[in-house]
Chain A
Amino acid sequence: MSVPLSVTIFLPLAAGLAGAVLPRGWARWTVLAAALAVLGIAIWMVADYPAGGAGLRDLTNQQWIPELGIRYSLGVDGLNVFLIALTALLWVAATAAACFREWDRPRLFYFHMALAETAVLGAFCAQDLALFVFFFDLMLVPFYFLIGSWGGRQRVRATTKLVIYTLVGSLLMLAGAVALGVLATPAGGHVSFALPVLAHRLVGKGTQEWIFLLFAAAFLVKAPAFPFHGWMPDAYRAAPIPVLVVFSAVLSKVGMYGFLRIVVPLLPQAAQHYQTLMIVIAVVSILYGSALAFSQDDARLVVGYSSVAQLGFILLGIFALDVEGKGAQGAVLQMVNHGLVVAPLFLIIWALSARAGGSESLGRMGGVAFRAPALAGLFLIVALATLAMPGSANFVGELLILFGTFSTKLAFGLVASAGVALAAVYMIRMYQRSMHNRVGAAVESRDVTRGELVTIAPLVAVIVALGVYPHFVVARTERSTVRQERPAASLEHASETGGQASVPPAGTAELGPLGRAP
């Protein structure tokens, strides 16, 4: 028994709409209840997903716009099941954190939060390229309003940049998607955007290459990767913390997920062709993001630039393209891990600024740990997980990514591993400047409030649990992830051995057309 995916996806939106018409005070509770319900369903999905599972489950597959060959097609497999769970979990945390504050126009605020959850869940579940594009672009709308209307200083500038960057990326991707669907249609066939169908209809190498660039632009902006991160500092500074929690922890993953779900399996030759370019972008993001992270004073930007570096690692894993899929597996695990650490980091920054006279500058913090040992302990665990200390699931993720990269691109892997040491510098520096050292002038230290505890502690518990047993994740993601990478990775292998490239379409073994298990 399982809940139809459509219900899961649109439940938050329905709650948001209901909250918008119900009395003012009810909005937060309806949206929170919906987020909790989605979390319940997501936990059930994860629990129900078998170790070693591969095929799509909970399929919904209906005609949507038959004239354009667009289907309303949703499904869950090992690749997205944990990302759905991550989304559900972090939305509960963010909504709950928001519930402890008062917001102007609360009904509208919570409506946008709910709409955003629907859009993200839709993007993760979509099995039709056009549907994915629809949800991907839909994500921008609520965040535009959430940052633009409830944001802090310079929010107009921030949203302007955000919209320009993302919109350009989205339009390019839209063009790429349309082109892919049209060009892949065989003579006399019908246009289809269904991902399993497109996996069988690979376009020529030259076509793959320019379509690849269109998609890559959208996804790299979303991540953000160097040098497409120009919108990030302003947007991060302006966003309200609960919004930033999901914005940074989940939205950046949609782009990376897009690479694995769409770009690599549908454009394998291009993925192979641009492998070095993408790895260079990844490595530069790692080094540049780390270097900036340890020279920032604004705590949010430390985390922001550290995300640039961490997303660089994920990108590196995706384009390691090793035959066994170590890099991709590490990337999927790291997507979950990074979401799990970034969200509590921003919540902790919120808690810290509440103790440092409202300032988020590291220079004005200091000595908070003295009367806040529990907060210091939670922060410590999160900080160590962020720097991928061995023993955390983040370490397993980075280990797999590095092993995958070493086996195909040893030199780049070695440069990237310097990023591991740099992460230690910026995270420990941030922990130390806020928690340790002499007490800042405006610092008034006190331990975690109940509100902070209920939002942060469960996330920390999940971090610890995954650190103890990361096999739970990798056993469930393995077959789906490796299947996405196999065409491109075996191409790589073939070109290495000088053999004829043969491209088995992604998913042939397990799936019939339209993703139905035979």
Chain B
Amino acid sequence: MTAAGWGWLILAIPLAGCVFVSLGWRALPGRSAGWIASAAVLGAFASAIGAFVSLQQRPPAARHVVSIAYSYAHTAGVNVDLGILVDPLSVFMALVVSGVSFLIHVYSVSYMTSDRGYARYFAYLNYFVFSMLLLVMAGNFVLLIVGWAFVGAASYLLISFWYRRTTATAAGIKAFVINVIGDVGMVVGAFLLFRHVHALDYGHVFARSAHVFSVDDGTLVAACLLFLVGAFAKSAQLPLHTWLPDAMEGPTPVSALIHAATMVTAGVYLIARLHPLFERAPTAADVAAVIGCATLIFAATVALVVTDLKRVIAYSTISQIGYMVLGVSTFAYAAGLFHLMTHAFFKALLFMGAGSVIGAMGGEQSLDKMGGFRRAMPFTFVAFTVGALALGAFPLMSGLFSKDAILAFALHRGGGYAVLAVLGYLAALVTAFYAFRMVFRVFWGDRVPQAESLERGELWHGEHFNPATGEEEDTDVGFPGPEHHIAEREVPMRFAMGLLAVLSVVGGVVAIPGVTSWLENFLRPAFSDSRYFEQAPTHSAEWVGLAAGAVVGVAGIALAYTFYVRRRGFTLELRDRFPRLHGFLEGTWYFDELYDALFVRPAARFGRFGRTVVESAFVQGVVIGGASGVVRSASAIARGLESGLLRGYALLLLAGLGGLALYFLLVSS
């Protein structure tokens, strides 16, 4: 089969899975919905491999296949086709997305077993995978925006999956609205390009903008910045990041899939996909690099103090995506995408481990109430620690290679980029520290009752309270599942976590400086028009960077060990000594409060003003007739009409006509 054929299959199979599960939800027994959905994603992964193989069989210059199914909308100069683009970049993304998604589907088969919305969950999950694949396979801006919005909708549905939790539904609407703001940015950005290049498909846009726009042309920079609004909204970068921590209200596998491994990296993909534009608008690229760097520092500092386990990982995600954004916007495409891949492995793994721990805690997520799980959950412990080692850039772990590739490239470009790289190394220290803060607080320390009961072989079942608000929850509807499932006891969960743990360790093998350059070689044809793709630093420089990164990683872990194992309580002293700083960090730099004051409350006030003042005073009062008479006389007329509406109506029409005739008589005489 041709590459295009595989490309369409990549999209078709998860869509078919979604339709099948959502229509057949009533008839599917037991775990079959989960297995069917998993099989659909596995089918997509197999198709992605098919596309990979058939691309590799072509000469490098021909690894760019556009396939059009039909005209989506051709009118008034706007020509949009339903078309996909199969090239190394889209196939790389499809492989990562469908591969990680498959493992998370398998994990979910067990994790969600006792949930009453089992089939609904897998229908949403397959819909998400379809949308994400549509996003990466799209061959034009409109289809890209369609995929972009679809993943936003899927994310909304899954965040508010436990829809009886008001915190979950509030988080859902927040995520959805911020994502729509991003969509609007993309639409306007697409128009700015369209206005000058009169096309919406990648090929024509990129080819023509090379002629139409000079370097750093104002319109082009504006368009790129608008695309960045979309990218930052989806990838939770400053200042549009506030939805992601709240998104942790969704089931944990959802956090692993959507809010760590795949959807939130869409912004990174977007910058890489639009690299011909960003390279022509270096100002916009620099803005992205600075924001990426600021985000990675900001999120890392917050991750130091947050006590909700899932939120720590969420801020870590924001921070790691900051690295990726820094990478692709300093034009280190291969490095940025490399980190995207390794991060997908180890972050999905961390979330799965967290899900297992939370299951063992009976739904409790606070680090303050955890401890001593090492012996009770050996499998989870090992897997989670491997994830944390990869995140903390421990020597020879995948995370070290990918993160360092980004920072080495930035150092290599020198100047301001070197400053960003140094800041990146500093944040890497923080990263290793907070990664092991989680490990030490969850698995070391005194055993909590939940850990003790698990060691006796009993799984703890907590009270059904919303951990965020303390509200009691409706257990009669099986929400959020009367039982919890942990990796220690479920084969599918262990399978998914084990495979991800292996990948987190060896994932770096695709691009070891001086040894392998598989990833670069594969991606090269997609970036043949880039001026920066070949400008890699020397291998020796990269190894120096790797050594530095490894030292930083080990130092961070050692520091965490000192603070949380050797000198426990020291962090509490720090907190008491610097309450302002702690409050600032724990309040996540007060972004939510700021937006509340700037946008949410004024909008609500405007709505209230409209309802009370404009509607009742102006529209009902002044326009309809004020206090005196008009309404009354009008209703008198209407009462008259009621008795014989048609007659009165005809009379009125006649009166109008007569008046008009009179007017023209007077005018013409």
Contacts from A to B (Cβ < 8 Å): 137, 140-141, 144-145, 148, 156-157, 159-161, 163-164, 167, 171, 174-175, 178-179, 182, 227, 229-230, 233, 288, 291-292, 294-296, 322, 324-326, 328-329, 367, 369-370, 373, 377, 380, 384, 387, 389-391, 395-396, 399-400, 402-404, 406-407, 414, 417-418, 420-421, 424-425, 428-429, 432, 435-439, 469-471, 474-475, 477-478, 482
Contacts and interface: CB of A to CB of B under 8 A. Distances in A.
Interface string B64-97: 0000001111111110100000000000000000
Contacts of A474: 73-76
| Most chain A C-beta atoms within 10 Å of own C-beta, residue among B73, B635, B641 | B73
A174 B78 contact: no
A210 to B, nearest CB: 12
Contact of B153 (A156, A164, A384): A384
A140 B615 CA distance: 24
Contacts of A326: 75-78
6 contacts: A182-B664, A230-B619, A377-B22, A389-B149, A391-B150, A428-B172
B145 A390 contact: yes
Given A171-B656, A389-B153, 20 more contacts: A145-B645, A174-B657, A175-B660, A295-B608, A329-B76, A373-B25, A389-B150, A391-B146, A396-B73, A396-B80, A399-B142, A400-B78, A402-B191, A403-B78, A424-B176, A425-B177, A429-B173, A432-B172, A438-B166, A475-B74
A141 B649 contact: yes
Contacts of A164: 624, 634, 637-638
A182 B664 CA distance: 9
Given A227-B618, A428-B173, A288 B166 contact: no
Contacts of A157: 635
B448 interface: no
Nearest to A177: B660
A413 to B, nearest CB: 8
Contact of B656 (A174, A233, A406): A174
B543 to A, nearest CB: 45
B153 A292 contact: no
B68 to A, nearest CB: 12
Interface residues of B, number: 72
A402 B195 CA distance: 12
B603 interface: yes
A436 B657 contact: no
B153 A294 contact: no
B575 interface: no
Given A175-B656, A230-B619, A428-B177, A436 B169 contact: yes
Interface string B644-666: 01100100110011011000100
A482 B72 CA distance: 19
Given A160-B635, A471-B73, A178 B608 contact: no
A145 B187 CA distance: 45
A291 B176 contact: no
A171 B76 CA distance: 36
B163 A399 contact: no
Contacts, number: 190
Interface in B120-169: 120, 142, 145-146, 148-150, 153, 156-157, 160, 163-164, 166, 169
Given A292-B607, A324-B77, A227 B623 contact: yes
| Most chain B C-beta atoms within 10 Å of own C-beta, residue among A161, A417, A436 | A436
B490 interface: no
Contacts of B474: 438-439
Interface string B347-373: 000000000000000000000000000
Contacts of A395: 146, 149
B506 interface: no
Given A230-B619, A400-B75, A291 B163 contact: no
Given A291-B607, A373-B120, A421 B634 contact: no
| Most chain B C-beta atoms within 10 Å of own C-beta, residue among A178, A406, A432, A477 | A432
A178 B547 CA distance: 87
Contact of B624 (A230, A404, A436): A230
B164 A436 contact: yes
A402 B194 CA distance: 12
A328 B637 CA distance: 39
A477 B172 CA distance: 38
B283 to A, nearest CB: 21
What are the nearest 8 A-B pairs in CB distance? A295-B607, A436-B163, A390-B149, A474-B75, A424-B180, A160-B638, A326-B76, A390-B146
A226 B623 CA distance: 11
A229 B664 CA distance: 32
A292 B610 contact: yes
Contact of B160 (A294, A370, A436, A439): A436
A233 B659 CA distance: 32
A291 B612 CA distance: 12
A157 B618 CA distance: 17
B72 A470 contact: yes
Contacts of B146: 390-391, 395
Contact of A178 (B191, B614, B635, B660): B660
B615 A292 contact: yes
Contacts of B641: 163
B598 to A, nearest CB: 15
A291 B610 contact: yes
Given A175-B660, A377-B22, A390 B183 contact: yes
A168 B80 CA distance: 44
Contacts of B169: 432, 436-437
Contacts of A156: 635, 638
A295 B620 CA distance: 18
Contacts of A471: 70-75
A402 B607 contact: no
Given A400-B78, A474-B75, A437 B163 contact: yes
Interface in B568-601: none
B606 interface: yes
Contacts of A380: 157
A167 B98 CA distance: 60
A421 B645 contact: no
A403 B153 contact: no
B510 interface: no
A417 B608 contact: no
